[in-house]
Amino acid sequence: MKKNMKLGVALVTAATLISGGAVATSASATTYKYYIAYQGPLTGDNKQTGLDEIAGVKYALALYNKANPKAQVGLKQVDDQGSGPGASVVAPGTAKDKSILAIVGPAFSGASVASFPYYKAAGLPLISPSATRVTLTDPSSTDFGGPVFHRLPSKDDKQGPALAKYAIQGVKSPVVYTVNDQSSYGTGLDGYVQSALKALGHAAVGTDSVDGTNTTLDFSATISKIKDSKTNVVIYSGYYAQAAGFVKQLRNAGFTGIFASGDGTYDPGFIDGAGDAAEGARLTASSAVFQDAGKAIAADFKKVTGNAPGTYATEDFDAANIILSCIKKGNTTRAKIQKCINTGTFTGLMGNTIKFDKNGDTAGAGFINAFLVTGGTIISKGQI
Amino acid sequence: MHTLISQFWQLTFSGAVQGFIYILISLGYTMVYGVLRMINFANSEIFMVGTFATIVVSRDILGHQPNSGDLHGFTLIYSMLFCLIASMLASGVTAVIVELVAYRRLRSRGTNRLAPLISAIGMSIVLSESVSLLTAGRATIAPEMLHKSSLFTILGANIRVDQLLVFIVAPIMFFGLQRFVNHTRLGKGIRAVSMNEETAKLMGVNLNRVISITFLIGGLMTGAAAFFFETVYEATKFNIGFNIGIAAFTAAVLGGIGNIRGAFVGGLTLGLLETYASAVLGSQWKAITVFIVLVLVLLVRPNGLFGEAIQQSRV
């Protein structure tokens, strides 16, 4: 349904442009000896996520280049449109471009899987800020991205149970309804939420999938079902723009129970979009919003990149810094950077320690923070 | 199934509201098809332009902010009227420009029928990508002008003021348009062109003018739909027209493209069908159900429920 003829035409045009252009775009102004790349959706339906993410990388690079004026590092933008097919168009060229030492990305799990064969063959190290599909770091799966793939976010199998637990916390007799946005992130997380609910003895009374492309904004049928099932807890797995519209309509329809959602909704944009309806929303995420690092740095971020820090900005900033710190230590080949990422211990924006295990997950990962929307801001409630 | 029975009237009301929005957009497809026998692929972006016009007027010109509270009384009425007119005009003018750029020139050069189709798709991509660049691909939130208060409950259905507004005003606009096409001089011109272009020309109908006006009317209706959409859903994005455009086009085909009454029945059927299907089978089955029904209808009635072409809608 999403892909019609119009899109087909657009894709052909876009594919032509991408295969010839995108990898080389940022090289036009100044040429650098070494580059890092960002790979994610920079055009298409999900470009909002990509633009938020690349801003984090740009900010890290700006700080690095200011501090190391003699050994500046450039950025190449790799636009995979957030999809597997998009990724298989751009990944071969990116793998061949020897000036790229490492990639922050791919942003999405499906695009990651499609890119792996090329990057594995070229030994190009990856640190994804946002790909959370469990199988990406499971050596027994065909989706496995090792040894080149690393990621910063917690996996969905950690977040799902935490989200389920937090959503029903303090509710006397929870009747839970789960909703996902049909994206691979949303359905994946929803699956873990549902099995966790079952384990907690409060299996969901119903589940629905809404259109997550953010072009369909009518949720009335889903909301009718929720009201019909006498639900008092709704858990939404998906991204914030859609979640904002959903919760608004849910509250407008008179729902007074609890609304809970995962890290896709953990974004100031959720509150901007939903307004009063966001109040009381329970959110989980494995990181902190960039803004928590302090007003000054958030303001500087906006000044440098032109954007306020958005989704996954913290992870992108950290991922870029890990690679840059490896380059700074004199690792200027892909193999050396790969080794540096695998063996090093790094410090994140929030002062947290980052170390990767042999499959590419952060060692000791699995902490999930709980948040509550109070008075129009996201307030941390500590680890869950 | 249980939901369908216990929430039947609620679903019917929501579905009808959605259907009325589809009807107004599908007029943008059906009117143009009626006179040109061509599909206006840019109509989904004409809708998108309308949604942004509504927001720009209410936010930047009238100065309402997304969280600045609801409006009441006279302010509410003139704000909404102003936004409705702005949205209709923005979409109407965009439609006329689309006709000038994508259709007229090619038509006068006598190109084959596929060329304007591609140029319309081109216009549509230009429009949506330009807005995408301007908004950095983000969703834009509309100020809440009309508080979404529940007015009353009838047969268990909760009737909200914004939905009721669509429920009442959209059909009035539709029937107004139908009267215009059937009873005015210009409307007769449109019907004459839709029956036979050459004969209409010989009868002294100014072809280019009629075609421009047809695009304008289709755009005005699509713009009204955009305003209603913003009143109910309060958000838009550069690609907002995509799914809703396909839905409205489907509605037009279901009713019989080129047929104004067909657009009404098609839009309403589609809105209800989508809502019922979502309730019974789950939202992910919505599109599948709709298209299965469309194919079945077309198997039995290849020209849609009401047959093709504007002229057949004569009373």
For A275, which of B10, B66, B275 is closest by C-beta distance? B66
Q: Could you tell me how far CA B297 lies from the centroid of its own chain?
A: 22
For A218, which of B18, B124, B241 is closest by C-beta distance? B18
Reported confidence tier of residue B223, pLDDT bands at 50, 70, 90: very high
pTM score, whole prediction: 0.77
B283:A1 CB<8 A: no
Q: Which tens digit of pLDDT belongs to each residue from A131-159? A: 888 889 999 999 999 899 999 987 788 88
Asked if the model's pLDDT at residue A14 lies above 80, the reply is: no
Nearest-CA distance A265 → chain B (Å): 14
Q: What residues of chain A lie within 8 A of the CB of B160, using their CB?
A: 252
Q: What is the mean pLDDT of chain A?
A: 86
Rounded distance between C-alpha atoms, residue B218 and residue B208, angstroms: 15
Q: Which amino acid is at A259?
A: F
B7:A228 CB<8 A: yes
* Torsion, CA A182, CA A167, CA A56, CA B67, rounded to 10: 90
**Is residue B279 a contact partner of residue A225, using CB atoms and an 8 Å limit?**
yes
The pLDDT assigned to A199 comes to 94
Number of neighbouring beta carbons within 10 Å of residue A33:
11
Least confident stretch, A40-44, A141-145, B65-69, B253-257 = B65-69
A218:B246 CB<8 A: no
Question: What helix, strand, coil percent values describe chain A, rounded to 5?
Answer: 45, 15, 35
Reported confidence tier of residue A294, pLDDT bands at 50, 70, 90: confident
Q: Which tens digit of pLDDT belongs to each residue from B244-269? A: 898 899 999 999 888 888 999 999 99
Q: SS3 for A208? A: strand
A127: CB partners within 8 A, 6+ apart: A102, A103, A104, A105, A150, A151, A152, A319, A322, A323, A341
Rounded distance between C-alpha atoms, residue A90 and residue A18, angstroms: 7
Cα–Cα–Cα angle for A72, A77, A78, nearest 5°?
Answer: 140
Residue ranges of alpha helices (H) inside B99-149 are 105-108, 114-134
Q: Which tens digit of pLDDT belongs to each residue from A224-259? A: 889 888 999 999 998 888 898 899 889 988 899 999
B3 Cβ under 8 Å from any chain A Cβ: yes
Of A89-103, A145-159, A295-309, B198-212, which has the strongest mean pLDDT?
A: A89-103
**Is residue A40 a contact partner of residue A82, using CB atoms and an 8 Å limit?**
yes
Burial class (CB in 10 A: 0-12, 13-18, 19+), A201: exposed
Asked if the model's pLDDT at residue B295 lies above 50, the reply is: yes
Q: SS3 for A155? A: coil
For B279, which of A6, A225, A254 is closest by C-beta distance? A225
Residue from A17, A225, A226, A272 whose CB has the most chain B CBs within 10 Å, to mutate = A225
Q: Which tens digit of pLDDT belongs to each residue from B166-215? A: 999 999 999 999 999 888 888 888 888 888 888 888 888 888 889 999 99
> For residue A157, what are its two tokens?
């199998």
Q: Which residue has the higher pLDDT, A242 or B97?
A: B97
The pLDDT assigned to A366 comes to 56
Reported confidence tier of residue B145, pLDDT bands at 50, 70, 90: confident
Burial class (CB in 10 A: 0-12, 13-18, 19+), A32: middle
The sheet with strand A34-40 has its strands ordered as A73-79, A34-40, A100-104, A126-128, A149-151
The pLDDT assigned to A40 comes to 95
* Torsion, CA A315, CA A320, CA A323, CA A325, rounded to 10: -100
Partners of A34 in beta bridges = A73
Rounded distance between C-alpha atoms, residue A100 and residue A87, angstroms: 17
| ipTM metric | 0.71
* Torsion, CA A120, CA A48, CA B283, CA B50, rounded to 10: -150
B7:A248 CB<8 A: no
A95: CB partners within 8 A, 6+ apart: A118, A119, A121, A122, A124
Q: Which tens digit of pLDDT belongs to each residue from B101-131? A: 888 888 888 778 788 888 999 999 999 999 9
Asked if the model's pLDDT at residue A8 lies above 70, the reply is: no
The pLDDT assigned to B131 comes to 92
B283:A221 CB<8 A: yes
Asked if the model's pLDDT at residue A19 lies above 60, the reply is: no
Q: What residues of chain B lie within 8 A of the CB of A218, using their CB?
A: 14, 18, 233
Helix A184-199 vs helix A156-168: angle between axes, to the nearest 10 degrees? 60
For A252, which of B118, B125, B148 is closest by C-beta distance? B148
Q: What residues of chain A lie within 8 A of the CB of B291, using their CB?
A: 1
A221:B41 CB<8 A: no
Partners of B157 in beta bridges = B154
For B141, which of A216, A219, A272 is closest by C-beta distance? A272
Q: Which amino acid is at B14?
A: S
Query: DSSP letters along B54-92, please?
Result: HHIIIIIIS---TTS----HHHHHHHHHHHHHHHHHHHH
**Is residue A106 a contact partner of residue A80, using CB atoms and an 8 Å limit?**
yes
Partners of A74 in beta bridges = A35
The pLDDT assigned to B281 comes to 85
Nearest CA in chain B to A251: B148
A221:B148 CB<8 A: no
B3:A228 CB<8 A: yes
For β-strands B235-236 and B140-141, DSSP reports them as antiparallel
Q: Which residue has the higher pLDDT, B152 or B253?
A: B253
